[in-house]
Amino acid sequence: MAAAGCLLFAVAVAVQAVQPDTHPRQPAEAHWVASWAVAPVDFRELSANPLLKAAAPRPGGDAFRGQTLRQQFEPALGGDRVRIRFSNRFGKAPLHIAAASVARSTGAGAVSPATLRTLRFGGRGSVVIAPGAEAWSDGVGLKVEAGQAVAVSAFFDRAVPFATVHLQSPDTSWVAGGNAVATPRLNDAAPLPLNHIVTGFDVMTTQPVRTVAAFGDSITAGGGEAGDGSYPELLATRLRNSPSAAQAVSVLNMGIGGNRLLADGIGPNGLSRFARDALGQSGVTHVMVLLGTNDIGRSVFVLPGRPTPEHEVVTAERITDGLQQLVKQARAKGVKVLIGTVPPFRNTPYWTEATEAMRGEVNRWIRSRQDVDGVIDFDAVLRNPADPTTFNPLYDNGDHLHPNKAGHAAMAAAVDLRELQE
């Protein structure tokens, strides 16, 4: 009987082993992930700021009139299907886009003809975006690779005043007369110093992706000599080349030069824009925050003819309270947070003994955090070992406030990749 029982048991196990799986593993669901994005600002703010040169001569003045805008950028992730976000966030009137396209860029405003794809919006070839609103194009099949430039073109059949813009690297935006969205090479194209209207580029994927929003001011945006070598871009390259990368990581540069955590100025303040510019990106999983330099410095520094209002004079406690609010917002969305310490700025108009003490207090608070997923000690990386209140000469771009190319590389190297892959 015992032998028979064992035989029956063995047969039962064998039968069970060959039974079909009644709960097969479902394929991963396709989803949109941000592959490139920027944080826009109001063109009027740039033009009014005496320290910026956004008011340089532009073809046709401060509006598009019967012209095609073409902009190129490099996505952080590849994919076979894409969509583009167009923004009228700071516009005062409806934004009419009469036609639009996307293609692989071949440089200098030209695109590969074989890759040109017409963009549609809810099935239509044109779209009207209300003031303060955004619109995504429909998804379209286009194979793109990480780091391979793509170009988005938009034709404006009526006057469109400059409104929603972003400071870009040189030679990434061009304007030409007429409807040229399907033209591989623009005729008589003129370069523009700004990125206009296009604020996001998503790819569709079924793979797990870590999407990191680098949220900050000009140091994040690439102020100084970095150009397209800002620390977020260099971090993205480092992640792509890492042999230990378990999955794809997209790094988005959501920095705005001159931005502050607590007060509006160049761009909305960090507290008010965090939900849209950082947490609002498709598939975001991590945020790296580096803000506070301009809040501290503007408490004592006065722009020509624009004294700092009383309510914009900050304390260390107000800054740390603001950073804590960002942490809470991210936690509520299930997004991991890494905070960077504020780099030194002695020998600039921002520096006094009082602002140095404030910076030290803010950095001590950041280093002591136990409720964040990581601390990136940019201060320790960039400061002068001989005088920690000053920038390391090896990393100083010359203004004693912004890192040079080597400084941005050091910042990118300071990020623990494991914290972005968890």
How does pLDDT run across 80-102, given as a tens digit for each residue? Answer: 999 999 999 999 999 999 999 99
What is the average pLDDT value for the chain, to the nearest integer? Answer: 88
**Are residues 275 and 150 located together in one domain of the fold?**
no
Evaluate whether residue 6 is within a structural domain: no
- Percentage helix, strand, coil for the chain under 3-state DSSP, each rounded to 5: 25, 30, 45
Domain that holds residue 322: 208-420
**Are residues 187 and 219 located together in one domain of the fold?**
no
pLDDT value of residue 382: 98
The residue out of 154, 172, 201 marking a domain boundary is 201
How does pLDDT run across 99-119, given as a tens digit for each residue? Answer: 999 999 998 889 999 999 999
What average pLDDT score do residues 356-360 get?
97
The residue out of 201, 216, 235 marking a domain boundary is 201
**Are residues 262 and 395 located together in one domain of the fold?**
yes
**Are residues 196 and 336 located together in one domain of the fold?**
no
pLDDT value of residue 304: 62
Does the structure show a pLDDT above 60 at 13? Answer: no
How does pLDDT run across 27-40, given as a tens digit for each residue? Answer: 468 999 999 999 99
**Are residues 348 and 315 located together in one domain of the fold?**
yes
**Are residues 218 and 187 located together in one domain of the fold?**
no
pLDDT value of residue 330: 98
What average pLDDT score do residues 109-130 get?
98
**DSSP letters spanning 248-315:** EEEEEEEE-TT--SSS-BSBS-HHHHIIIIITTSTTEEEEEEE--HHHHHTTT--BTTBPPPGGG---
Q: CA nearest 287: which of 316, 253, 257? A: 253
Evaluate whether residue 12 is within a structural domain: no
What average pLDDT score do residues 63-68 get?
95
Evaluate whether residue 7 is within a structural domain: no
Evaluate whether residue 399 is within a structural domain: yes
Evaluate whether residue 23 is within a structural domain: no
**Are residues 301 and 400 located together in one domain of the fold?**
yes
Contacts of 180-183 with CB under 8 Å at 24 or more apart are 180/68, 180/70, 180/153, 180/155, 181/68, 181/99, 181/100, 181/101, 181/118, 181/153, 181/154, 181/155, 182/101, 182/116, 182/118, 183/68
Is residue 132 very low, low, confident or very high in pLDDT (cuts 50, 70, 90)? Answer: very high
**Are residues 190 and 214 located together in one domain of the fold?**
no
Evaluate whether residue 288 is within a structural domain: yes
**Are residues 117 and 63 located together in one domain of the fold?**
yes
What average pLDDT score do residues 351-366 get?
96
Q: Partners of 303 in the beta sheet? A: 306
Q: Kindly give the pairing relationship between strand 284-290 and strand 209-216.
A: parallel
Query: For the chain, how long is the longest CA-to-CA vector?
Result: 101
Evaluate whether residue 215 is within a structural domain: yes
**Are residues 188 and 246 located together in one domain of the fold?**
no
Does the structure show a pLDDT above 60 at 12? Answer: no
Domain count, the chain: 2
**Are residues 67 and 175 located together in one domain of the fold?**
yes
Q: What is the pTM of this model?
A: 0.89
Question: Under a CB-based contact definition with an 8 Å cutoff, are residues 396 and 387 in contact?
Answer: no
**Are residues 272 and 403 located together in one domain of the fold?**
yes
Does the structure show a pLDDT above 90 at 11? Answer: no
Identify the residue whose tokens are 């600002």: 41
| C-alpha span between 127 and 86 (Å, rounded) | 10
How does pLDDT run across 179-231, given as a tens digit for each residue? Answer: 999 999 998 899 888 899 999 999 999 988 999 999 999 999 987 655 568 99
CA distance readout (Å), 168 to 41, 68, 171, 259, 284: 12, 18, 9, 16, 22
